[in-house]
């Protein structure tokens, strides 16, 4: 039997990883995506954090997915030591002017904010959790090379134009298979390759390369760290000592607020950053800011979608959780063949 995997992002890689774990299932694996356009996908344009965030099973179907996905991806990381990932601490910082959100956060984590002195960060009121920070370009290149290096996968550099039954229409050729996995992301939605009830949602975030903190002790502390995440009012301030081969950087973004038009979202990010500085002035910093945008796929009730119609399995709707759900949904997609 032959299987074709369409797409170069996290969902496609998750499916390929699980296919290679059971190589006897298909005697031919073909992977198709336009290589020169891969870095335009949301997988490369993301704040890219993996954390459990107090999620428990049995509360909601989405929560169950995210809980299982977190531990699935964590197991993959620990087993393979991918490049571009740092195991770090995530500090959920208290906002003294929004007690309602503080209480909701405490309820979610089932623990109270603790007032601690974290080395040179000064006194902060925080809930701390384990997390993983990704440098998307480095990690995605590592995962791509891992799949490319397998003799079981036949890669084809082509732009997908359409899917018809068991056939894939590419710009260069026509391809056929017994099973097709459609993991074409936002490209698939905008071009009609994905017909499920999934929509595209832009996500914006700021990046500062070689930032400098005004507080010298804080600056020294960050420079000694590989990665740190400070979460305030749903936004993440993420420090990377090495980000996409560009050296140290700070990222601000990743909100649970609605994304949409660029102007309002940028204004929201700027307003929240000022609020963060006013609450925690020791973290004020300066640097040259750049804006990045990733176009994500969002399913009904934010749940990911795996659907099958004939020979085609569609994976979509990873939304803001691609760095956990991609690997996990790859397994679920193959289980749908049983």
Give me 127's structure tokens.
Answer: 């809930």
Encoded tokens for 184: 């074409």
- From the list 82, 299, 92, the residue with the least C-alpha distance to 188 is 299
pLDDT tens-digit map of 182-220: 999 999 998 889 888 888 888 889 999 989 999 998 998
Distance CA 234, CA 210 (A): 24
Are the C-beta atoms of residues 236 and 279 closer than 8 Å to each other? no
What are φ and ψ of residue 151, in 5° steps?
-75, -10
Q: Which helix (H) or strand (E) holds 85?
A: strand 85-93
Ordered structural domains, the chain, with CATH: 1-84+135-198+299-338 (3.50.50.60), 86-132+199-297 (3.30.9)
3-state secondary structure of 260: coil
At 261 the pLDDT is: 47
CB 275 within 8 A of CB 165: no
Q: What SS3 state is found at 257?
A: coil
DSSP assigned state of 119: T
**Rg (Cα) of the chain, in Å, rounded?**
21
CA dist 201 and 113 (Å) reads 33
**Per-residue confidence (pLDDT) for residue 256, from 0 to 100:** 47
177 contacts: CB under 8 Å, gap ≥ 6: 2, 3, 4, 28, 30, 166, 168, 311
The pTM for the full model equals 0.92
Q: How many residues belong to the chain?
A: 338
The helix/strand/coil state of 43 is: coil
The per-residue pLDDT for range 236-279, each reduced to its tens digit, is 999 998 887 788 899 999 754 444 445 567 888 999 999 999 99
Contact in structure between 10 and 72 (CB atoms under 8 Å): no
Give me 52's structure tokens.
């459990």
Name the residue among 128, 123, 137, 157 with its Cα closest to residue 85: 137
Q: What is the pLDDT along the chain (338 residues), one digit of tens a residue?
A: 999 999 999 999 999 999 999 878 899 999 999 988 766 678 999 999 999 999 999 999 999 999 999 999 999 999 999 999 999 999 999 988 888 988 988 998 988 888 776 656 777 888 999 999 999 999 999 999 999 999 999 999 999 999 998 999 999 999 999 999 999 999 999 888 988 888 888 888 999 998 999 999 899 888 888 999 999 988 999 999 888 778 889 999 975 444 444 556 788 899 999 999 999 999 999 998 999 988 889 988 889 999 999 999 999 999 989 999 999 999 999 998 87
Q: Tell me, what's the pLDDT at 224?
A: 86
Reading the block at residue 35, the tokens are 């290589």
C-alpha dist (Å) from residue 137 to 131, 242, 268: 19, 11, 27
Question: What is the pLDDT, as a whole number, of residue 257?
Answer: 46
DSSP state of 261: S
Q: Is the dihedral of CA 182, 81, 63, 255 positive or negative?
A: negative
């Amino acid at each position: 039997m032959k299987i074709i995997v369409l797409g170069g992002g996290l969902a496609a890689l998750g499916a390929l990883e699980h296919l290679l774990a059971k190589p006897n299932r298909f005697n031919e694996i073909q992977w198709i995506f336009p290589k020169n356009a891969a870095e335009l996908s949301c997988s490369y344009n993301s704040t890219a954090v993996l954390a459990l965030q107090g999620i428990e099973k049995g509360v909601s179907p989405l929560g169950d997915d995210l809980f299982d996905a977190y531990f699935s991806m964590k197991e993959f990381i620990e087993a393979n030591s991918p490049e571009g990932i740092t195991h770090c601490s995530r500090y959920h910082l208290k906002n003294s002017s929004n007690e309602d959100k503080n209480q909701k956060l405490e309820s979610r984590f089932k623990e109270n904010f603790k007032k601690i002195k974290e080395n040179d960060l000064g006194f902060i009121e925080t809930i701390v959790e384990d997390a993983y920070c990704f440098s998307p370009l480095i990690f995605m290149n590592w995962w791509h090379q891992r799949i490319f290096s397998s003799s079981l996968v036949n890669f084809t550099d082509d732009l997908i134009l359409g899917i018809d039954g068991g056939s894939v229409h590419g710009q260069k050729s026509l391809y056929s298979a017994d099973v097709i996995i459609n993991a074409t992301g936002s490209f698939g939605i905008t071009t009609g390759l994905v017909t499920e009830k999934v929509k595209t949602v832009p996500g914006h975030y700021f990046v500062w390369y070689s930032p400098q903190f005004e507080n010298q002790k804080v600056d020294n502390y960050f420079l000694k760290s590989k990665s740190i995440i400070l979460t305030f009012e749903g936004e993440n301030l993420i420090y990377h000592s090495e980000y996409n081969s560009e050296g140290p950087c700070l990222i601000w973004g990743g909100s649970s607020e609605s994304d949409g038009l660029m102007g309002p979202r940028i204004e929201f990010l700027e307003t929240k950053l000022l609020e963060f500085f006013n609450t925690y002035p020791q973290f004020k910093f300066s640097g040259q800011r750049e804006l990045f945008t990733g176009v994500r796929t969002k399913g009904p009730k934010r749940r990911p979608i795996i659907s099958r119609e004939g020979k085609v399995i569609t994976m979509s709707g990873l939304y803001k959780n691609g760095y956990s759900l991609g690997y996990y949904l790859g397994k679920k997609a193959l289980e749908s063949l049983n």
